[in-house]
Every structure is written in structure tokens, then in C-alpha cells.
Amino acid sequence: MSEPIKATVVPTFDKKDIADNKAIAALSYLWILFLIPLLAKKDSKFCQENAKQGLVLFIVWIVGMFVFWFPFIGWLAWLVVLVVNIIALIKTLSGEFWEIPIIGPWRKKFNL
């Protein structure tokens, strides 16, 4: 028997929280700036979820630096991470939470 596919539940957010904090939440996807919403907006669930995901993406960038310098495969990996980063930034600015495939659920490991 095959094991069922486990899906993650994307959190829901208050519309006012999103409207008030989407610009600050977008900082989560600008490398180390994820620390700003993580530390400054503890009362905003939208900022916290994006900041935790930004932290995971930051770790991917750091680990990736050891892989990105390899020709072709490393460059392709760099391009994929860059595109994912840009998509997450744009979706956050539009007031939408996008759980990044594969790495997004790792944000739940951080209870900051």
C-alpha cells in the first residue's frame, strides 16, 4: 500500500493584519532583512509566518552558496531559488501568503 500524501495547511490571516503589514512582511524575502518583521512585528501573524519562511529561504541561500558555484547545476539551482524568492516577495506585497513548495513547511519548526 502506498502512503497518503501529506498536505500542509496554509494559515489564514486577518485582512487588516495583511493590509497593515504586507510591506514589512515583504522584507522577509530580502535576505537577512527577514529579521525586521520577525523581531519588530511579533503581534502580526502575517509578518511572523512570512518571516519564518524568509528565515528558511535565507538558510537555503547560505547552504546554496556551496552549491551555486558549480557550473550548470549550481547555476540552475541559484536561478530556481532566485525565482522562488521573487515570487514570494511579489505575492506578499499583493497581500497573499504563498507557502513555498518543499521548503515552506519547514517554517513550522521555528517557534520564535
| Mean predicted lDDT score pLDDT of the chain | 85
Q: Convert the pLDDT of each residue in 9-58 to its tens digit.
A: 677 888 888 888 888 999 989 989 989 888 998 898 888 888 999 999 99
pLDDT exceeds 90 at position 86: yes
Angle of helix 15-26 relative to helix 45-64, nearest 10 degrees, comes to 30
What does 82-105 look like in DSSP terms, one character per residue? HHHHHHHHHHHHTT---PPTTTGG
The three cell numbers locating residue 21: 503589514
The three cell numbers locating residue 83: 525565482
Task: Indicate the pTM of the whole model.
Answer: 0.79
**Around Cβ 14, how many Cβ atoms within 10 Å?**
12
Q: Looking at residues 106-111, what average pLDDT do you find?
A: 77
Give the residue extent of every domain in the chain. Answer: 15-99
Please state, in angstroms and rounded to a whole number, the distance separating the CA atoms of residues 61 and 8: 23
